[in-house]
């Protein structure tokens, strides 16, 4: 018992020191398939820009949970190169995520996307472990401290990380290959709408969150994961972008999230962040991506070729991902569906040599 307590105490001490210096206590190890994913993300940018869509094969406008369906495919005949999925509420032991998607289906679709030669990225709108609320519950500013080692919710959160690890480890093909994924937790942290946001924790605490999760997944033997860092649009320069960067030892891809709205200078803001990321990406040797974007309901029928594509062409971007199409929420769709105003323009966008979809990835990268 004493030995166990000692080991635990020394682990905590080492952990804290490691967190402060941002030095991991382990050498990151990845499977050959995970390395292949990293090279696809990195080299992809020379060949074109991969298109991504959140929850693409799960549901869309007017349909739900039909194998092989996708609004993107219904419009252009191909699946996106990148698919995003969310594990929010897996930590609560539920069988469905916060958007009522069965985790079993997510698992199947991640594996199907791998067989297609495509990429899956996973976000985690994790519940608030201290208040019992959602990711968006920012009523308490001590949540991050509470989950770190020594905090009142640390043990509970360790259990949550176990459920996360179980899921990532369960992403396995019939012949036993662990499917690699790009994990993107703690996103949009430069805003203050999630419990891990800018005004809810210090920069050291935020970085420690990253160290804790990556160390824990490593300790659980998870090697089929890469990590994406994705603040919001707030950073005005490279220093601000990197203010809470947990370090190149952990992070594999740099991104940011930003959406167009009816007002505001979308192109100008995007250019600012893309310029910042391009220089950091080059300096650190990391691929860069637009990890979330879109123009809700796409009211501009030429948005794909006149707004998004010109932005994508100017920077060495690996992929761009637009958010989900759901009719459970009013006006919440980000790709066209048959009959939507931007359908024709999306087909032009698809046909453009610079954009890459699932079939392109399969032929370019010879994936399984």
Q: Site residues (CB under 6 A) for ligand BMA?
A: 86, 88, 98-99, 125, 323-324, 329
Q: How far is the CB of 320 from ligand BMA (least distance, A)?
A: 16
Would you say 143 and 192 are in contact if contact means Cβ atoms under 8 Å apart? no
The count of other CB atoms within 10 Å of the CB of residue 131 is 14
Q: How many helices (H) and strands (E) does the chain have?
A: 13, 11
Spell 218-232 as b/e; 16+ CB within 10 A means b.
beeebbbbbbbbbbb
Q: Which is nearer to ligand BMA, 98 or 347 (CB)?
A: 98
The residue (of 86 and 91) whose beta carbon lies closer to ligand BMA is: 86
To ligand BMA, the closest distance from the beta carbon of 258 in angstroms equals 13
Coil, strand or helix at 125: coil
| Residue with Cβ nearer ligand BMA (259 or 284) | 259
Residue nearest to ligand BMA (CB): 86
The residue (of 184 and 207) whose beta carbon lies closer to ligand BMA is 184
- Structural tokens at position 113: 């996307």
Q: Please calculate the CA angle 172-335-45 and round it to the nearest 5 degrees.
A: 60
Q: What is the 3-state secondary structure (H, E, C) of 194-206?
A: CCCCHHHCCHHHH
Of 183 and 245, the one with the shorter C-beta distance to ligand BMA is 183
Least CB distance from residue 323 to ligand BMA, whole Å?
Answer: 6
Report how far residue 132's alpha carbon sits from residue 54's, in angstroms, rounded to the nearest whole number.
26
> Could you give the count of Cα atoms lying within 13 Å of 114 in the half-sphere of its Cβ?
24
> Across the strands, what pairs with 51?
320
Tell me how far, at minimum, the Cβ of 125 lies from ligand BMA, in Å. 5
What is d(CA 69, CA 62) in angstroms, rounded to the nearest whole number? 11
Q: Give the separation between CA 125 and CA 98, rounded to whole angstroms.
A: 8
Residue among 145 and 293 whose Cβ is closer to ligand BMA: 293
Compare residues 11 and 259 and give the one whose CB is closer to ligand BMA.
259
DSSP 152-206: TTHHHHHHHHHHHHHHHHT-B-TTSPBPPEEEE-STTTTSSSSTTSGGGS-HHHH
The residue among 71 and 99 lying less far from ligand BMA, judged by its C-beta, is 99
- Give the Cβ contact number of residue 367 at 10 Å: 17
Give dist(CA 354, CA 309) in Å, integer: 9
* Pick 89 or 360: Cβ nearer ligand BMA: 89
């Amino acid at each position: 018992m004493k030995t166990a307590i000692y080991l635990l105490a020394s682990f905590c001490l080492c952990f804290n020191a490691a967190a402060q210096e941002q030095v991991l206590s382990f050498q990151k190890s990845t499977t050959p398939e995970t390395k292949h994913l990293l090279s696809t993300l990195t080299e992809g940018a020379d060949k074109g820009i991969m298109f991504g869509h959140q929850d693409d094969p799960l549901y869309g406008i007017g349909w739900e949970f039909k194998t092989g369906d996708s609004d993107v495919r219904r419009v252009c005949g191909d699946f996106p190169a990148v698919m995003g999925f969310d594990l929010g509420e897996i930590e609560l032991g539920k069988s469905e995520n916060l958007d009522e998607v069965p985790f079993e289906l997510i698992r199947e679709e991640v594996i199907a996307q791998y067989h297609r030669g495509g990429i899956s990225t996973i976000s985690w709108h994790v519940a608030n472990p201290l208040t019992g609320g959602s990711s968006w519950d920012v009523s308490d500013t001590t949540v991050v401290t509470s989950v770190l080692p020594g905090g009142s919710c640390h043990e509970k959160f360790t259990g949550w990380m176990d459920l996360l690890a179980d899921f990532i480890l369960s992403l396995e093909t019939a012949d036993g290959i662990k499917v690699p994924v790009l994990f993107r937790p703690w996103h949009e942290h430069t805003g203050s709408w999630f419990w891990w946001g800018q005004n809810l924790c210090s920069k050291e605490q935020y970085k420690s969150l990253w160290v804790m999760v990556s160390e824990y997944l490593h300790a659980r033997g998870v090697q089929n994961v890469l990590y994406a860092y994705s603040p919001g649009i707030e950073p005005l320069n490279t220093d601000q972008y990197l203010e809470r960067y947990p370090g190149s030892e952990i992070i594999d891809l740099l991104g940011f999230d930003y959406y167009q709205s009816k007002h505001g200078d979308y192109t100008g803001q995007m250019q600012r962040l893309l310029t910042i990321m391009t220089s950091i990406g080059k300096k650190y040797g990391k691929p860069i991506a637009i990890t979330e974007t879109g123009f809700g309901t796409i009211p501009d029928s030429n948005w794909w070729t006149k707004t998004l594509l010109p932005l994508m062409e100017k920077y060495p971007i690996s992929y761009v991902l637009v958010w989900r199409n759901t009719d459970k929420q009013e006006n919440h769709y980000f790709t066209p569906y048959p009959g939507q105003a931007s359908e024709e323009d999306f087909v032009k966008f698809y046909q453009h040599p610079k954009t890459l979809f699932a079939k392109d990835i399969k032929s370019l990268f010879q994936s399984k």
